[in-house]
Each structure stands twice: as structure tokens, then as C-alpha cells.
Amino acid sequence: MRFNNFPLKSKLVIYIVVGVFLVLAVSTAVIISTVTSQEEKLAYQKSIEMASSYANQFDADMKANSAVANTVALTMENYKASNRTEVIDILKNILEKNPNLIGVYVGYEPNAFDGKDAEYINAPRHDATGRFVPYCNKINGNLTVVPLLHYDSSDYYQLPKARGEDVLTEPYFYEGIFMVSHVSPIFKDGKFVGIAGADVPLKYMDEVVSKVKAFDTGYAFMVSNTGVLLSYPTHKEWIGKKSLYDFNSKEIARAAYDIKNGTGGYIETVDSTTGKPVVMFYEPVRTGDLAFVLVIPKEEMLAGVVDLRNRLLVISAISILFMAALSYMIALSITKPIDEIVQDFKSIAQDAVKGKLDVRADTDVERDFREIPMGLNEILKAVIVPVRESIRVTNALAEGELKERVNLDVQGEFRELGNTLDKFSETLNSIIDDSNAVLTAFQQNDFKRPISIHGKGDFKLLTDGIEETRQALDMITTQRREAEKALLDYAKELERSNQLKEELERVVNTSPVIVFLWKYEPMWPAEFVSENITRLGYEVEDFTSNKLLYGDIVHPEDLEKMAAELEMNVEAGCTDYTSEYRILTKSGEVRWVDERTVIQRSKDGEVHLQGIILDITEHKKAEDALLQMEEIRKKEIHHRIKNNLQVISMLLYLESGNFTDRDVIEAFRDSQNRVKSMALVHEKLYQSEDMVSVDFADYIKNLVDYLFQSYSLDSRKVSLKLDVEKVFLGMDTAVPLGIIVNELVSNSLKHAFAGEKEGEIYIELHRNRENSTLQEKNYDNSGNTKVMPQNNEQTGLNGATGDREEKLTLIVRDNGRGFPEKLDFRNTTSLGLQLVTTLVDQIEGDIRLDRSRGTGFEISFFKEMNSK
């Protein structure tokens, strides 16, 4: 509805109300903007002050805990008594008086406390070094004192030593407790002599922070300067394991960056737990490089602002309603006389619509509006004459007198009205004549004669309708002829198609393959199966009637594998794949089949399966026969190699009898042992199941037993200890490694125990251990062995791992006289050690020598990918 058509009274009301509304809207918007902005700033300021207050509280706690470590360090600097028991009692007293602490300790450099470390080696509350490193703790609930661990390498000791200043460690888990350590260096005469520290569990921090509430549902948590969660009110499993960067939010990542740089602030983000918009405030805890984080739902924080805004909007609405009522009263006083004239006009118009053109308007109205009815009466008088003439001509046209014309001498638009009626008569006459000619052609089935005269307006609808009818009839006639021809062609094509279908069915039913069409449902109901299913003893009706499902004839041992393979290919979007499995005939016979499955998908995502199944049982039997022949051939090869090597070993033994020189005899025996080690590998391969890998643990035992017998040693004098894991090695590794073991054990048997009453040879083979027995042992407070590196000689022959799977370590050690100090085992005239270094290079391994307790060789290498 256009605005010009609105009543005058409505327009007046609208103008006044809109004006007042605009004034009130602008003023209200300014007021709301100013007030809500101030309220929002106050809400943010209140939250920032709350976060800062809690951050300062925790900063004070961290300073107090740091002061404990600093106080212990200062006490030790001025302590002169050097009484270890007294110092331990001091630590206990400090721990009892500080319930927030989990442990208090001091740690001194070697002999820096009292110069008596040697007297306390492995004594209670001491470790194997005897150093004064007591750790007083309540980790297990009760107060206990144990020696510190890993002080030679850990940051809690090494950082204060290197920096000479107080250190606060990053949060870490120890014995299941999440904690931080405050550590201060101890100096005497300006020289670093040790450290003093206090361990603070972060559980109390989580308990305090989890109780923090802001507004209705706001909560708080603590993080380290690296973003790791130190507390969380709902997800306790995140503590110490999840960081701010794990929330995958750019805003939270920016906050983590500020926290890392020690700055505070706030961000707006979405709470990962509730999914609501929140404001996250964060303030640094300066002493501990930590940060306090306060999370408040934005709608709660700004609830007061929203309430104030709503009140102002209500006041504005009431004002607008009041002004609308006032506007209505003003408009009513103006429009009342106008409504009376309009009502008179309306009455005249209704009479004119009914054909009463002799009615006249009442001129007895107020002076300002009197010209309006008088002018209307003049118009009615001038209109009535041409209207009556037009009615006469129109009636003549309605009776079919198309020759009738207007006979009236008028001017202006009334003359145009007469000309229009005359033109209408002429046009209508031409259209009727042309349309009759076309319709006459229709009667004679001639649809090619088009309409020549097209009218306008409704006459155009008439002429266009006749023309469209003609064109439609013409097209229908043409299409009917074409359809008759197409039907004849389709009938011939359908006959040929049916013949081809019958031929294809004969080919499928006589071929060795069976065709199935399945539903992708449990056990695969069959929608179609070719008639040659009778090859398996079944009938087509067994499947199409759902009496049998395809899964019912799959071998039970292959059913799960086949189902998993099908599901994997369907989910991967494959269109076809091939698989082999076993099926059962109706008589219960097991047959191998090769299936080519085609996966079909409809537009709505429904899956159907089409399979072509070929019996490959005889092919499988031939493959099994070939595999058995291959296994027999491999066994024969390894058996012959073993026999030939044993013959060579025997020949070396017999040939050594022709000599009297001990060096020559020894050389023959060494060669015999080397040949024996290779023969033993082939014997183990011959005995293995896969003919590819050797049980090297069993191999080492047999080889060493043979060497002990070969050197005719008294088992009571030299004992053997084996710590060998069950490891399978391929021949390329087993042969050189067997010769290495042979050479190292032979060297120990020949040289290590000359003149000794008794001794021990130790062989170890293990996987993926960080340290070995060649390293110095240390002990923690629970008695578990901890290993520390010794000063060992090491040579890395080849560090490349290539296509390797896992790292193995072989150790051959004796506690005999020891390897000569001045002799380099990598550069010696001994053929045995030359063989060892060469073969280690061959298996791409590393070898090192330990001289600390007798002689020990450690060889690290990688197991082949194809070994077990």
C-alpha cells in the first residue's frame, strides 16, 4: 500500500510519532551507550582486580616457599658442626612446620660437607657415593629420609650449580605427585658446595583455585608460563598433561603467549566445557613464573548492563505511546470536516457505479471546502452525454452490428472515446474474419495456415491462443507419425535384446564362474545367483528364497576375515576388489574360491554387491605342494652346508695333529672353532620352522658349551652366566655375530684367567635397554638399580640404521686380568680382534670396550626387518 493512499489522520499521526521517536531514539541511544559502556568497564575492572588479587595471593605463597629453601641454604652456609644427623633433624623440623611442603633437602658436592663421604658409602640415608644428599619427604604419607637421585644430571642440582642463583623448576610429576621445587645454592668462602631445596605439591593450589567462584558460574585455574594446566575445577585428568595450546583456539594461544612473557590481560573466547562465550582474565604470579586464570561467562558479567539497557528501552517505548495518543487527538480535530465531504463523495461514487449519473453533490458545506462539491457537479453533467452515446454504440456492437459508429460532436478526451470505439469495431471485424479462415483450414486437417492478424490485449490472447492451438496440433501430428516409426524400431531392438540376454544366460550358466548379486546386510542375502550354483550342490531357490544366506556357505574360519575385508573396501569407497577364501559345498566339502567383488552405490547411498566366484581349489593344492618342495629343498641345503662345515672342522682337527708347535695348533683350533660357529648357524636354520631365522639365545648357549668343552676348562674354576633374551636373527646377522661371540669367549678362555683360581664369563643379549651392565650402578631409596655412564672406550663403526626394526645389544664380559692398558683393540695384530671389528662393521654395529672390571665388550646393532 502506497503512503499517498493513507488517510490524512494516519499521516498526521505517523509524522508526529516518527518525529518524536527519532528524537527519543537518538537521546536514548546516547544515554544507553554511555551508561552501558561505563557499567561494562566496571565489570571488566572488577574481574581484573579479582584475578590480580588471587595472583598476588599465590605470589605470596610462592615467595614463602622460596624463602624456606633460601633460609636452609643460608643456615647451611653458617653451619660449622658438620653433624649429618643434626642437619637431618633440622630438615625434619622444617618439613613438619610447613604442611604445604612435600619435601626438604640439601645436597653437597663430594666431601664438601664433612670430608667423610667414604665412611658413609651405602649407609642408611646415603647412596653408593657416600655424599651428604638427604631428602626428607612425605611422599608416601609418613616422614622418611632417603638419598637424592640423579643429582649429577638433573636440573634441580645442576642449574643452581651452574648459575649460582635461586632456581624454581618447571612443574613435574614425581612418585605420582605433581610438584615444583625451590632450590638455592650453598656457598662457603665464595665457592659452591651444594644446594638446599623445598618441594611444593601443587595439589593444594588446585584445591584453593577450584573453590574460586566469580558471578554465578565463573571459575578459575592455574597454568605454568609454558601454558601447562596446574589446576582445573572439572577435568582433573588435564592437570599436568594438557596445555593452553591444546584447546586449538587462536585467542587462547595469544593468552598463552602473554603468560609466557609474564604479562596479564583478558580475551573473549568460547568455553571448551560449556560451549558458552566467556571472558578469560589472566594475571602472572611473578615469583613462580605461573599465571592465575579467571573464566567468567560474558552474559553473567554483563547482566547488570543488559538490565539497565532494557529499562531505558521500556521508558522510551512508553514515551512514544504517549506521543502517539496525543498525535491522534490533534489529527482528529483537523480531519473531521474533511471526512464529511469525503463521505458525500463516496455516496455519489457508489450511485455512479450503479449507473445513477443524475445524482449531485451537496454544496451546503463550510466555506473553505465549498468549491469541491460544486466542481464535482460540473464534471458529472459533462460526462453523462458521451457516456450515453458510448452505451448506444456498445450495445450495437454486442448485437453484431460491427458497422455502427459514434455520432456525437464532442471535444477532447470525449472525442478520443468515440474514436476508440470506432477503432475497436474495425479491429474486431478484421480479427474475426482472419480467425474464421484458420478454423476453416482446421476442419480440413490443414494445420499449416497461420494467424495473419494478431490483436492486442485480450484480443491478442484470443489470436495467440488460436495460433498456439494450430502449432500444437501441427506438432502432435508430426510427433504421432515419428512415434509410430520409433515404436516399430523399438519392437525390433527389444526382440534382438531378448535374444542376446538368453545367449548371455547360457554362457554364464555353462561357465566355471558363479555370479551372485548380494545385499550389503549381515550374512549377505542373495538377490540373484546364476543357475550353475548347482556345481556346489545348491539350488537357485535356496538363496533367492532366503533359505540360505551367502554367509552360511563361507567357511567359519574365513567368515570374519572376509567380512572385515568387505567392510574396509566399502568404507574406503572402492568400486571393486579381489579376495580368496574357503566355502562349503552342500555335501560339506571345503573348496577354495577366488572372488571378484564389484561394489555398486545408488544415488541415495544404498550399497549392493556383485560377485564373480571361481573355484581355485586345484590351484591352491598345487601352490601348497610347491611350498612343501621349497621347504624340503632349503632344509637339504642347510643340512649339507652344516655337514660340509663339520667335515672341514674335523679335517682341521686331524691336520693339527701333524704339528707340535703350540701356536700352529692353537691357530688350527681357532679356525676349527670359527667353522664350528658357522656350522651351528646352519644347524639351527635346519631345525627352525621358517628356515629364515635362528633362535640366537639357544645358539649362544650351544656355542659356548662347545667352546668350554673345546678348551677343557674346569667348570668350577671358570663359570658361565647367561642373560639372553629370546631373539630370532637372520643368517646375514647370525653368522658374523656367532663368529664375534666365538672370538670374544675364546679370548676370555685363553687369556683372562691365566694364574687365577676362579673366574666368571658373562654373556648378555637384550633389546632396547637404555643402559647396560657395563655402566656403573647406583641405587635409589627403594633399592632399584640405577645406571650411570663410566669412562668407556667406544668406536662407532657405522651409525646408519637403514631398514632396521629394533636395536639389540650383545655384551661379553669376564672378570679376569683385564685388557692391557696400552693395547688398542681396534689396531692389533690379533686375527681374532681384527675379525671382531671387521664383522661388527659388516653388521653395521657399534662396539666399545670397558676396562673397569676385567674385560667387557658391548656391541650394539639393529635387527633386520624380516627377522621375528
Residue-wise pLDDT tens digits, 45-56 = 877 888 788 777
Instruction: Report which residue type is found at 662.
Output: R
- State yes or no: pLDDT of 475 exceeds 90: no
If 0-12 CB within 10 Å is exposed, 13-18 middle and 19+ buried, where does residue 440 land? exposed
Highest mean pLDDT among 296-305, 442-451, 763-772, 819-828: 819-828
Between 83 and 516, the higher pLDDT residue: 83
Better pLDDT: 457 or 168: 168
Give the model's confidence band at 450: pLDDT under 50 very low, under 70 low, under 90 confident, else very high: confident
pLDDT tens-digit readout, 145-176: 999 988 998 888 999 999 999 988 888 888 77
| Res 813: pLDDT | 93
> Band of the pLDDT at 132, cuts 50, 70, 90?
very high
- Over pLDDT 90: what percentage of the chain? 14
pLDDT in tens, 200-224: 888 777 778 888 887 788 888 888 8
Cβ contact 520:609 at 8 Å:
yes
Interval 687-725: pLDDT, tens: 655 546 778 888 888 878 877 877 766 655 788 898 988
**In the numeric block, which cell numbers belong to residue 803?**
631398514
Give 268's strand partners: 279
DSSP letter string, 498-536: HHHHHHHHHHHHHSSEEEEEEESSTT--EEEE-GGGGGG
Confidence (pLDDT) at 646: 58
pLDDT score of 790: 37
Q: Report the pLDDT value the prediction gives residue 774, as an integer from 0 to 100.
A: 46
pLDDT, position 121: 93
pLDDT at 771 (0 to 100): 44
The pLDDT assigned to 795 comes to 40
Is 244 a residue whose pLDDT tops 60?
yes
User: Do 520 and 600 contact (CB within 8 A), yes or no?
Assistant: no
Q: Please, are residues 154 and 181 in contact by the beta-carbon 8 Å criterion?
A: no
Between 56-65, 72-81, 397-406, 736-745, the lowest mean confidence (pLDDT) is in 397-406
Contacts 24+ apart (CB under 8 A), 22-28: 24/316, 24/319, 24/320, 25/316, 28/312, 28/313, 28/315, 28/316
The pLDDT assigned to 612 comes to 84
Q: Is the pLDDT confidence value at 258 over 70?
A: yes
pLDDT band at 232 (very low <50, low <70, confident <90, very high): confident
Average pLDDT over residues 720-744: 85
Whole-prediction pTM value? 0.35
Mean pLDDT on 339-352: 73
| Mean pLDDT lowest among 136-150, 294-308, 554-568 | 294-308
- pLDDT class for 357, splitting at 50, 70, 90? low
Instruction: Return the pLDDT at 411.
Output: 67
60-69, 276-285, 320-329: least confident range = 320-329
Please state, rounded to an integer, the average pLDDT across all residues of the chain: 78
What's the rounded mean pLDDT across residues 328-335?
67
Lowest-confidence region among 258-262, 291-295, 491-495, 756-760 = 491-495
d(CA 158, CA 151) in angstroms, rounded, equals 7
The two beta strands, 776-779 and 793-796, are unpaired
Q: What are phi and psi of 604, to 5 degrees?
A: -85, 10
Across 571-575, 681-685, 826-830, the highest mean pLDDT is recorded for: 571-575
- How far is it, in rounded angstroms, from Cα 770 to Cα 215? 53
Mean pLDDT value of segment 436-448? 72
| 495 pLDDT higher than 90 | no
Share of the chain above pLDDT 70, in %: 75
pLDDT surpassing 50 at residue 677 = yes
In this structure, of 90-94, 387-391, 694-698, the range with the lowest mean pLDDT score is 387-391
Q: What is the mean pLDDT of residues 88-103?
A: 90
What is the model's pLDDT at position 628? 59
Mapped to the 3 state alphabet, what secondary structure does 487-503 carry?
HHHHHHHHHHHHHHHHH
What CA–CA distance (Å, rounded) separates 119 from 106?
19
The average pLDDT across 107-121 equals 92
| pLDDT given for residue 288 in this prediction | 62
How does residue 408 score in pLDDT terms, banded at 50, 70 and 90?
A: low
